[in-house]
Structure 1
Amino acid sequence: MEMNWSPLWISLSVAIPATMITFFLGIFIAKKVISANAPVSKLLDVIFTLPLVLPPTVVGFLLLILFGKNGLIGRFLYSVGIQIVFTRLAAIIAAIVVSFPLMYRSAKAAFEQQDGNLIQAGRTLGLTKIQIFWRIEMPLAAPGILSGTILTFARALGEFGATLMIAGNIPKITQTMPMAIYMNIQRGETKIASVWVLLMIMLSFFMILFLNFINIKKEEKGIHNITS
């Protein structure tokens, strides 16, 4: 049977925009949660982390409630001619929701571990909040944020349950690599399924390898700063 490579391109077309959106959204919300008062911050932290521990099918069901034809948001979108369910956009939304906690928690941890004296020094020098963020906070948080970005991309690339619920398994439209594995196993096409499994293992391997490389560089930099 001829190999159809569309699931690879669909997976990338879903994971890349989902990661880009989650990158900015995760950093923004992490900063807002940190700056909130303690009770609100703890509540928001639970809410934004929840998709990480919920079963993907539960996340998919909740997305259907929101974006389905009779959903809270979907009803309005359908009235203006916009369909979300069973489209590529639905797959991107599912990938954003399930991968967001990884980016959010990585960014939050990176900002919380920063030396407050450096930020205070920036204020003393007359830097604005925006200048402090870009010149001090972001460079210090960069390794943690980059790690979160890699994990986010990997999670978005491998999303299955929520995507199946809201986007379906439509060849050349919403059929990602995990969907292709599932479909080919159901059909008994184990050789084709094995190709997709091997490809996903290789992609995951190199992403983890890159993540470890970043962590090693971060540790070497920390040791250099201590000894210098």
Structure 2
Amino acid sequence: MVNFSPLWISLKVSIIATIITFVFGVVVAYGVYNYKGKGKSILEGILLIPLILPPTVVGFILLVLLGKNGFIGQTLAPWNLSLVFNWYGAVIAAMVMGFPLMFRISLGAFEQIDTSILDAARIDGASEMVVFAYLAIPMSIRGILSGLVLTFSRIMGEFGATLMIAGNIPNKTQTVPMAIYFAVQGGNMREAWIWCGILLGISFLSIFALNFLSIFKT
């Protein structure tokens, strides 16, 4: 009988990480979109680094920073807080890996906006918060929602960084991708196929959601 705890852990980690990544990704993307100073391309490159690096490298860096000997780990030690080898660490790894995708898609959506409309609102006295909430977001909502769906799918399938920082602890940090990997390693192909089918189903639903967004716009 298959233990479905990896599915619930994956959903918990993915939903929490996606919500946080969505908020930060959109806000940072809008900030970069409005930034007109020097080094904008460098800033974009830095924010996209986790998308380029192998997930295990990202996981190793996070482990160094968040581990008991790392800067963040030592800072949290007096409060007996640990962000490694628990589901919190899995959320952090998912956020770091999903953020570049959410950021880049949101930035692309903002870049499609007619800037004259935003400038006209500013001239009329609208605050930047009003421009962001009532103009920029509605005008780019389809792209942003597409980024949300794709980011959730990316986070749901995250493996390398999560394994490095959260480990593979059954009923605690074992997500669906880990369950697939270790089922194959253990020769349990039936279980591996079940988990693959679940991820394929989630992927299909994500594609359906993206197509629905396209239909909704038209």
TM-score (norm 2): 0.96
**What's the CA shift string for 1:89-118, capped at 9, x where partnerless?**
000000000010111001111111100121
| Distance of 1:66 and 1:37 partners within structure 2 | 32
Alignment partner, residue 177 of structure 2: 178
| Distance of 2:119 and 2:84 partners within structure 1 | 48
The correspondence of residues 1-228 of structure 1 with structure 2, limited to 5 A, is 2-218=1-217, 220=218
| Distance of 1:77 and 1:117 partners within structure 2 | 47
- Which amino acid in the other structure matches residue 116 of structure 2? N
CA root-mean-square deviation: 1.2
| Distance of 1:194 and 1:39 partners within structure 2 | 50
Gaps of at least 5 residues in structure 1 are: 221-228
What is the CA distance between 1:130 and its match in structure 2? 1.5
> Greater shift after overlay, 86-95 or 208-217?
208-217
What is the CA distance between 1:38 and its match in structure 2? 4.3
TM-score (norm 1): 0.92
| Distance of 1:69 and 1:124 partners within structure 2 | 51
| Distance of 2:78 and 2:93 partners within structure 1 | 22
| Distance of 2:76 and 2:175 partners within structure 1 | 25
Question: Once superposed, which parts of structure 1, at least 4 consecutive aligned residues long, lie more than 3 Å away?
Answer: none
What is the CA distance between 1:39 and its match in structure 2? 2.8
| Distance of 2:33 and 2:161 partners within structure 1 | 29
- Which amino acid in the other structure matches residue 71 of structure 2? L
**What's the CA shift string for 1:143-163, capped at 9, x where partnerless?**
011001001100111100000
Tell me if the contact between 1:59 and 1:162 (Cα under 8 Å) persists in the aligned partners. yes
| Distance of 1:126 and 1:64 partners within structure 2 | 47
| Distance of 1:87 and 1:156 partners within structure 2 | 17
> Greater shift after overlay, 120-129 or 110-119?
120-129
Aligned residues: 218
**What's the CA shift string for 1:150-178, capped at 9, x where partnerless?**
01100111100000000000000000000
Tell me if the contact between 1:57 and 1:162 (Cα under 8 Å) persists in the aligned partners. yes
**What's the CA shift string for 1:202-228, capped at 9, x where partnerless?**
11011012112313443x3xxxxxxxx
- Which amino acid in the other structure matches residue 166 of structure 2? A
**What's the CA shift string for 1:35-60, capped at 9, x where partnerless?**
22343311110011111111000000
> Greater shift after overlay, 157-166 or 70-79?
70-79
Gaps of at least 5 residues in structure 2 are: none
> Greater shift after overlay, 12-21 or 129-138?
129-138
Report percent identity of matched pairs. 48
